[in-house]
Amino acid sequence: MRKIILFGTLVMLLQACYSFKGITIPENISSYNVPYIEITTGDAPPSINTDLQEKLIQKINRESRLTFATSGADVTFNTTIRAYSVRSIGVNSENSVDANQLEISVQVEYVDALDEENNWKQSFSQQRQFPTGTDLLSVQDQLVDEIFDDLVEDIFNKAFTIW
């Protein structure tokens, strides 16, 4: 009986800041903000920043208990799209290019208004390949969407998980 009570008490204590998804958000943090995402590269499509902002907001809304706040948020994700590039990769036996690669890099500054020791700044980068001879515009939306899914996952994990 003691073991059951001890186990129940332990579970209740852990639930205060830990979920079994691996998400760790201190009890005192209840709100977040993802302000306007800046683009510092001239090669990116013009609406790419709002697409990334929406994906990050949706992810946090869907997978955490935090509420979105336009001002006075407990944590803020200041994000900049730093690179959007396409390059040829891989050479086959005929010395021609096998594939192209789209790469997007972002820099995120995580600001914890309640405890600045939790602040961090990190760059994240993801890429997708597409066949040579394929027009980028015909696959761009799908590639960007997939890259953003991975970037948002990386950002979320850095901010809210402890492994």
CATH of the domain at 100: 3.30.160.150
Confidence band (pLDDT; 50, 70, 90) for 5?
low
For 59-73, what is each residue's pLDDT tens digit?
999 999 999 999 999
Question: Of 10-19, 85-94, 113-122, which range is least confident?
Answer: 10-19
Residue 15 lies in a domain: no
- Asked whether residue 8 is domain-assigned, the answer is no
Contacts of 151 (CB under 8 A, 6+ apart): 52, 104, 106, 124, 126
In a domain, 132, yes or no: yes
Average pLDDT, the chain: 87
Query: Is the Cβ–Cβ distance between 17 and 25 less than 8 Å?
Result: yes
Residue 134 counted as domain residue: yes
The number of folded domains in the chain is 1
Of the given ranges (96-100, 119-123, 133-137, 140-144), which has the lowest mean pLDDT?
96-100
Q: Is 79 exposed, middle or buried (0-12, 13-18, 19+ CB in 10 A)?
A: buried
Residue 11 included in any domain:
no
In a domain, 94, yes or no: yes
CB environment 3-18: b (16+ within 10 A), e (fewer): eeeeeeeeeeeeeeee
Q: Domain of residue 52: give its range.
A: 23-160
With respect to residue 149, please indicate whether it lies within any of the assigned structural domains: yes
Q: Is the pTM of this model over 0.85?
A: no
